């Protein structure tokens, strides 16, 4: 007898990790809104009592996201920022600092658009570093890394090295990858801020 198992893809696993982090009422962030799929998924998880903050540097991405969200009801309100995610700390209300349950990055270029406009390691790392103070304990970050284009390879190596260097007593970091994929390596990182231990 022959069984065919559908290996979970990185998008499936990313959604699974986000669903562990974002419960109804959660404050959540999409750092790369793109066509809005992750923003929508977060808004569904957080529900009407929650709040989503989403960022993108392209007008096209912000308008695609707004259009996608417009046909859904019973989702969290979404605040869209036409801005680089590296500036998020200047744009979010300061009273949500330390209260973010989930943040997602889907790196690279906007599908179906200009492939020259991509995320870059320095700004991605700036945003990742800033998130440490904005996540709540047990909050976390999901990062989709696509290494099949030149900037993506550089960025991916930098982000993976950064994640491996996070202190064990403050962070749990896992990765998911289909390791025999012949080209266009993709890696999913799941990064969780540990609860402080009070002795
Ligand atoms: C792979 S797409 C995101 C896909 C999206 N999450 C979705 O569900 O459709 C990457 C996006 O990152 C955006 N981007 C690039 N640099 C950025 C930055 N510094 N801050 C925020 N977004 C950025 C691009 O404009 C592009 O839309």
User: How confident is the model over 17-54, as pLDDT tens digits?
Assistant: 999 999 999 999 999 999 999 999 999 999 999 999 99
Which has the closest alpha carbon to 136: 79, 76, 196, 87? 196
The separation between CA 3 and the C-alpha centre of its own chain, rounded to angstroms, equals: 33
Res 127 pLDDT > 90 = yes
How far apart CA 125 and CA 73 sit, in angstroms, is: 34
Q: What b-and-e string marks burial along 123-156, b requiring 16 or more CB atoms within 10 Å of the CB?
A: ebbbbbeebeebbbeebbbbbbbbbeeebbeebb
- Give the pTM: 0.96
Nearest atom within ligand 1 for CA of residue 144 = 1
Torsion region of 108: left, alpha or beta (phi above 0 gives left; psi -120 to 50 gives alpha): left
Q: How far is CA 120 from CA 60, 78, 148, in A?
A: 19, 25, 14
- Quick one: pLDDT band at residue 148, thresholds 50, 70, 90? very high
Mutation to probe ligand 1, out of 38, 41, 56 (largest number of atoms < 8 A from CB): 56
Q: Residue 79's pLDDT is what? A: 98
The arithmetic mean of pLDDT across residues 178-198, rounded, is 93
> Which element (helix H / strand E) includes 133?
helix 121-134
Q: Residue 114's pLDDT is what? A: 86
Res 2 pLDDT > 90 = no
CATH assignment of 10-193, given 3.40.640.10, 3.40.190.100, 3.40.50.150, 2.60.120.560?
A: 3.40.50.150
Ligand 1 pocket check for 155: Cβ under 6 Å = no
Ligand 1 pocket check for 151: Cβ under 6 Å = no
């Amino acid at each position: 007898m022959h069984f065919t198992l559908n290996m979970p893809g990185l998008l499936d696993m990313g959604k699974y990790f986000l669903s562990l982090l974002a419960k109804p009422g959660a404050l959540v962030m999409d750092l790369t809104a793109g066509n809005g799929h992750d923003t929508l998924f977060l808004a569904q998880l957080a529900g009407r009592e929650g709040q989503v903050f989403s960022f993108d540097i392209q007008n096209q991405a912000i308008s695609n996201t707004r259009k996608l969200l417009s046909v859904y009801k019973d989702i969290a309100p979404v605040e869209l920022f036409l801005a680089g995610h590296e500036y998020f700390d200047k744009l979010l209300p300061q009273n949500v600092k330390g209260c973010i349950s989930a943040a997602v990055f889907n790196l690279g270029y906007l599908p179906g658009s200009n492939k020259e406009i991509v995320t870059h390691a320095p700004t991605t790392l700036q945003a990742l570093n800033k998130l440490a103070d904005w996540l709540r304990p047990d909050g976390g970050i999901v990062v989709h890394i696509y290494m099949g284009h030149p900037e993506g390879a550089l960025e991916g190596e930098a982000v993976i090295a950064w994640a491996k260097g996070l202190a064990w007593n403050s962070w749990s970091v896992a990765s998911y990858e289909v390791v025999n994929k012949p080209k266009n390596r993709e890696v999913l990182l799941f990064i969780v801020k540990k609860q402080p231990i009070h002795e």
